[in-house]
Amino acid sequence: MQIRSQHFHIALVLYCGAVMIVSVTPNPPVPELGFAHTDKVGHFGMFAIMAGLAWGSLSRSRLNPGAALLFWGPVVFASGYGALCESLQRLAPERTFSWGDMAANVLGAPCQVI
């Protein structure tokens, strides 16, 4: 069964919504993995998945993007969305902006092709 672009579009929209909710929720649950900076691993993974969904959506679209757009489009999208989520945390109770979280978001985004 081939996954169609509409499936990726829907998954991406739902995933972005879930990431936004988690980003602005006070005290979201963070699993303890037994090492420091567990949340950075979460940020890295969340935005790698987001970029992967954006890549799937773009690669199956009718746009027929070139290799550069197929790589950089999802990276810029996921990084920008990560910056938006992190910036909105300044407005959320008990949340703060973190350059470390921002870096993890941006570093996760290029991993969409792995």
Give the pLDDT confidence score for residue 8 in this predicted structure. Answer: 87
> Where are the domains positioned within the chain?
5-23+44-113
Say whether pLDDT at 94 is over 90: no
Assess contact for 69 and 42: CB atoms under 8 A. Answer: no
Give per-residue pLDDT as tens, 6-48: 888 999 999 999 999 999 888 777 777 777 778 888 899 999 9
Q: How far apart are CA 2 and CA 113, in angstroms?
A: 18
Q: How far is CA 25 from CA 13, 43, 48, 79, in A?
A: 18, 15, 21, 20
Q: How far apart are CA 114 and CA 107, in angstroms?
A: 13
Tally the residues of the chain: 114
Give per-residue pLDDT as tens, 59-73: 888 778 888 999 999
Confidence band for 74, pLDDT divided at 50, 70 and 90: very high
Residue 41, amino acid: V
Q: How far apart are CA 101 and CA 58, in angstroms?
A: 26
